[in-house]
Structure 1
């Protein structure tokens, strides 16, 4: 999906209402800030010619961004909004007042290329900045992702799981100047995962066979349910009673429904679990250990 189509969907009445508000109210945040920020990104995503150097700020506001720090991964499920905090340094010209009520800045993440992002996510409210010199400030702002986004054009799609890129934006609602800087960093936006385990029979005679079953599932952002993650390597691990360390017994592959089933010999009292190392699209997860009494 082209970013301009995405922003057109989110802007609509929200953007028009933001323009009708006094500038100070628009800078306060909420839907007005979000719509204006996304619309400004679309304005600067007008073609590859504008992106000969995507690491430089684009726009007519005299600011630049650096030292962009974001979490390595954002796990998004099917129901709850997920938020993470980004910090960065804002460098600005003498004519830019970051303490002004008409000034707003915030972090963004986008999927795809800077020339034509497939999707963009940002914060519902702008960052807060603290001046560290006459021309620099340290800023901290949110990225808010809602898997239940009501606008279909802004809702996450399963194909968008994986690597997203960092960006930052600044807006002056008084002068109507903006600046966007892309390629500031990366993060993974992942479909949240769950993993279960059950070892039986319980109790079991020492030396007898245990059957261990479970299921690896991950969030589907399109139908808001969890479905089995197929064809994935998952480790069966054992922790002896009184120990704090799990040892891998074997590797099992999930079936066509995400199911896991294997056997092992019962040797001592302890806990069995499945452990999944994760992929770029799906986070690592380990099941809670299932205790087996060996007699």
Structure 2
């Protein structure tokens, strides 16, 4: 009887020790996961910046680049908790995703502003645009508005008074050259240029594979307010976490600033934060 009692106590002790060990292992795993930060991004120089961030972030944090292939995946990855943050978009584009998906993404640090514009395989000056020319603009609402605002500022079209970053072609009140607008997915705009469409909106990142830089654009944007600056984005519930704070600090490091500053003449981008030096 005493042996049975002793065995029961011994077995109970083993169970308690095992449970404690399992709990410690789980805590260690949880802590490791909480210091590992996955950042979704898409193309250079954004992916390059993420890799620099991975090199400079303070311990114990580590950064992993999740490279995606389109303009939907990075937001879905963050919203579905497959990534902790993204670095691929400006705030108006993020707000569009939130509105369409009842999402809770928040934009945080502004890192750089890529100067977009219109390119032409036909003309060397915007003044050469002819009546009835086709114009390729992005199919997503925020970049469509951005493109139309640039054309409005140049006087090629006139937008209805009061429209802002929700402008569409339906808001055009004057179109003296009777320009024909074609909506194209942002990633396919370079193909529109290759197809000979006379006027094509594009980003420096996407037009570069064609051997073009903003120096070749016939019309560039003036976004002095940095409305379309590329920003770090996370979920609302994670934005104030220690890991995201550490991530933001790494994104605004001197190393990132120097990298962007070296690129600004070639890629027509401007860092939107000041370096440490």
Per the normalisation by structure 2, the TM-score is 0.26
Higher helix share: 2
Higher strand share: 1
Larger RCO, structure (CA 8 Å, separation 6 or more) = 2
Per the normalisation by structure 1, the TM-score is 0.25
